Amino acid sequence: MESRLMLRNGEQLLLAVVIPVIVLVGAVQASDRVDLDLDGRAIDVFTPGVLALAVMSTAFTSLAIATGFERRYGVIKRLGSSPLPRSGLLAGKVGALVLVEALQVVVISGVALVMGWDPAGGAGAAAGAVLAVLLGTAAFAALGLFLAGALRAEATLAAANLVYLLLMAGGAVVLPASAYGSFGDVVGWLPSGALGEAMREALVEGAVAPVALLTLLGWAVVGTVLTARTFKWE
């Protein structure tokens, strides 16, 4: 049911698939006209970042907005009083996130391969990408639930979209932190920067990025603690 609700929502599909694909195509095309200091071909550098952006859009923005309005309309309160345990509700939401993210990976990777993407192969690339997606999902989902549980639905809608746009533009998720100059040392510690760096390290270099993964783990822990302390069912 959670998956069906996410997939039939036009706004969430826009965030999940359409915007990342537009960002990928636009970034690759614009790289020929803008002097960017990239450590490789544009398609190879931007694709991991756009995959990270897709994870952020689903695990943070879509989850926060959907949960915020579920709180407003009493859906979560009613589910909490049903035979469905909280662990079942959480498992349903996590399962839906993973399903949508798998769809995003297939679509974005397909577009990137058509555009000439040549990802790194091997065990290091696979392990690094899987760990980045899992920890990135955990971190952004925890932060999204914190936002949805602490604010009213309308405020959650505005805040989630604003944070998404700010991180997409200046959070080192699509562009590497080195493209931000001295500010890159700061944005690399954001969950967006850590996820983007972990994905690029995996799919460009074929390696695991331990510092970025630990940063994501730290954000996941912080978000979980904040959510547990502040989340209200209605």
- The three state secondary structure string of the chain is CHHHHHHCCHHHHHHHHHHHHHHHHHHHHHHCCCCCCCCCCHHHHHHHHHHHHHHHHHHHHHHHHHHHHHHHCCHHHHHHCCCCCHHHHHHHHHHHHHHHHHHHHHHHHHHHHHCCCCCCCCHHHHHHHHHHHHHHHHHHHHHHHHHHHHCCHHHHHHHHHHHHHHHHHHCCCCCCHHHHHHHHHHHCCCHHHHHHHHHHHHHCCCCCCHHHHHHHHHHHHHHHHHHHHHCCCC
Percent of the chain clearing pLDDT 90 (strictly above): 30
Task: With a cut of 90, say whether residue 3 has pLDDT above it.
Answer: no
pLDDT on residue 153: 82
Task: With a cut of 70, say whether residue 112 has pLDDT above it.
Answer: yes
pTM of the model: 0.89
Confidence band (pLDDT; 50, 70, 90) for 36? low
Q: What are the pLDDT digits (tens) for 145-159?
A: 888 888 888 888 899
**Which residue, 156, 138, 159, is CA-closest to 90?**
138
**Which residue, 220, 162, 176, is CA-closest to 50?**
176
In sequence order, which residues have a C-beta less than 8 Å from that of residue 126 and are 6 or more positions away? 202
Q: What are the pLDDT digits (tens) for 186-233?
A: 888 999 999 999 999 999 888 899 999 999 999 999 988 888 887 766
Buried b (16+ CB within 10 A) or exposed e, 12-40: bbebbbebbbebbbebbeebeeeebeeee
pLDDT on residue 185: 80
Phi-psi label, residue 121: left if phi above 0, alpha if psi -120 to 50, beta otherwise: beta
181 CB burial (10 A radius; 0-12, 13-18, 19+): exposed
Q: Output 128 or 178, whichever has higher pLDDT.
A: 128
Q: Output 86 or 220, whichever has higher pLDDT.
A: 220
Report the alpha-carbon distance of residue 67 to residue 98 in Å, rounded.
16
**Which residue, 130, 148, 133, is CA-closest to 56?**
133
